[in-house]
Amino acid sequence: MKAVFLSLLLVLQCSFSWAAYPDKPIVIVVPFPAGGPADAMGRSLAHAMGVKLGATVLVENKAGAGGLLGVSFVANAQPDGYTLGMAGTGAMVYAPFISKKMPFDPISGLTYLTTLVRTPNVLVVNVNSPYKNLADLLNKAKAQPGVLTYASAGVASSAHVVAELFQKLTGVKFIHVPYKGAAPALQDLMGGHVDLMIGEVSGLVGQIKAGTIRGLALSDSQRLSALKEVPSAPEVGLPGWVADGAYGLVAPAGLPAELSKRLVDVANEALLTPEVINKFAELTSLTQPGNPTQYKNLIQSEQARWSSVIKSAGITDE
């Protein structure tokens, strides 16, 4: 009888706690620097979720290790609904096959809430480059293997992995020039120090529209309305080069089911608000409401797809 009473008391206490949630600010950890596209998307989402919850939702930037640092922080936080995180493809899909010291298990070490957004990658060159289209670039690369250089946000970054798939599909070989982030890579591309760059379109769209760089191919199945001049992967003969970056919302493992459901509902409502849709569209990214099962299935299927690419390319963080 006493055990039953204690169990009932615990249930009542938990129910009261969940009913009072949130009674303090919620933090969404963005695992990339302030001022970047992921940060802009995270802040838009946080504001909309705060309105829906009638609470304060803050963004905290914890950049480093291609997103691993921030997502690891979330994985190690208390599962009380006050620490959430944006998790990107790099940390969730690529890192388990690249990092020798994974700080968390992407499948069991987190509570999956929902997919948030997808953003394709794009191959770009300097506007003064002699390569006016992808065929020009590939002809040069095949005629002189190992001469053209490509910039990425770093060794084992998403751009590095996507570029390896591109080379595998086209049969060309570039020289990899890794940088400490997409910003310095883009700067050197515009300065004419490297021949091309592959990166998430959300971080390159501004310069494409400004006319300082030229988009040659989009790693998506169709063109983007905001970049109608950039052909899709199938259009340039590379239907297998569909490689979208995907961000989702996660929490620490062990989050109570009631809190999880509430946060999923609120996040999806936020993703459907004009504010969030328009902000993501500015970054040529598409809002992607979902649920925990869809998000986990996506990560698992992407891991299965990319593991062979990473292993065959010999990509490692050491």
> Is residue 10 over pLDDT 50?
no
Q: Cα–Cα distance between 108 and 293 in angstroms, integer? A: 13
User: Do 109 and 255 share a domain, yes or no?
Assistant: yes
Q: What is the pLDDT of residue 24?
A: 96
Q: Among 236, 254, 276, identify where a domain stops.
A: 236
DSSP 235: G
Does 285 score more than 60 pLDDT?
Answer: yes
49-78 in b/e form (b: 16+ CB < 10 A) is bbebbebebebbbbbebbbbbbbbbbbebe
pLDDT at res. 284: 86
The pLDDT of 165-177, averaged and rounded, is 96
Rounded distance between C-alpha atoms, residue 214 and residue 226, angstroms: 14
- Does the global pTM surpass 0.95? no
Helix ranges, the chain (H): 2-20, 37-53, 68-75, 89, 95-98, 134-143, 158-170, 182-190, 205-210, 257-271, 274-282, 292-313
Residue at 7 is within a domain: no
Report if residue 76 sits inside a domain: yes
Tokens of 260: 């999880």
Q: In terms of domains, do 89 and 178 share one?
A: no
Q: Is residue 37 part of a domain?
A: yes
pLDDT digits (tens, 9 = 90+) for 191-250: 999 999 999 898 899 999 999 999 999 999 999 988 999 999 999 999 999 998 889 999
Question: 253 and 146: one domain?
Answer: no
Position 309 pLDDT exceeds 70: yes
What is the domain count for the chain?
Answer: 2
Distance (Å, whole) CA 29 – CA 130: 42
Note whether 34 and 182 are same-domain residues: no
Cβ 196 vs Cβ 137: under 8 Å: yes
Residue 49 near residue 56, CB atoms below 8 Å: no
Give the domain-ending residue among 202, 236, 270: 236
What secondary structure does DSSP assign to 41-97, as a single string? HHHHHHHHHHHHHTS-EEEEE---GGGHHHHHHHHTS-SSSSEEEEE-HIIIIIHHH
φ, ψ (nearest 5 deg) of residue 238: -130, 65
Residue 318 belongs to a domain: no
4: pLDDT strictly greater than 70 = no
Range of the domain at 166: 121-236
CB 116 within 8 A of CB 287: yes
Flag whether 69 is in a domain: yes
125 with 231, same domain: the answer is: yes
Q: What would the pLDDT profile of 88-129 be if each residue is shown by its tens digit?
A: 998 999 999 998 889 999 999 999 999 999 889 999 999 999
Q: Give the CATH number of the domain where residue 152 resides.
A: 3.40.190.10
Same domain, 184 and 227: yes
pLDDT band at 283 (very low <50, low <70, confident <90, very high): confident
For residue 318, how far is the Cα from the chain centroid? 22
Q: Is position 169 within any domain?
A: yes
- Binning pLDDT at 50, 70 and 90, where does residue 176 land? very high
284 within 8 A of 201, measured Cβ to Cβ: yes
CATH number for the domain harbouring residue 68? 3.40.190.150
Closest Cα to residue 104, out of 234, 292, 251? 251
Q: Find the helix or strand (DSSP H, E) in which 252 lies.
A: strand 245-252
Residues 91 and 46 in one domain: yes
Interhelix angle 37-53/257-271, nearest 10 degrees: 110
Q: Residues 259, 232: one domain?
A: no
In this structure, are 89 and 128 located in the same domain?
no
Task: Determine, yes or no, domain membership for 269.
Answer: yes
13 located within any domain: no
Q: Do 256 and 114 belong to one domain?
A: yes
Regarding whether 129 and 167 lie in a shared domain, the answer is yes
Find the helix packing angle between 257-271 and 274-282, rounded to 10°. Answer: 70
Mean pLDDT for all residues in the chain: 91
Question: Which domain-ending residue is among 236, 269, 291?
Answer: 236
Residues 106 and 145 in one domain: no
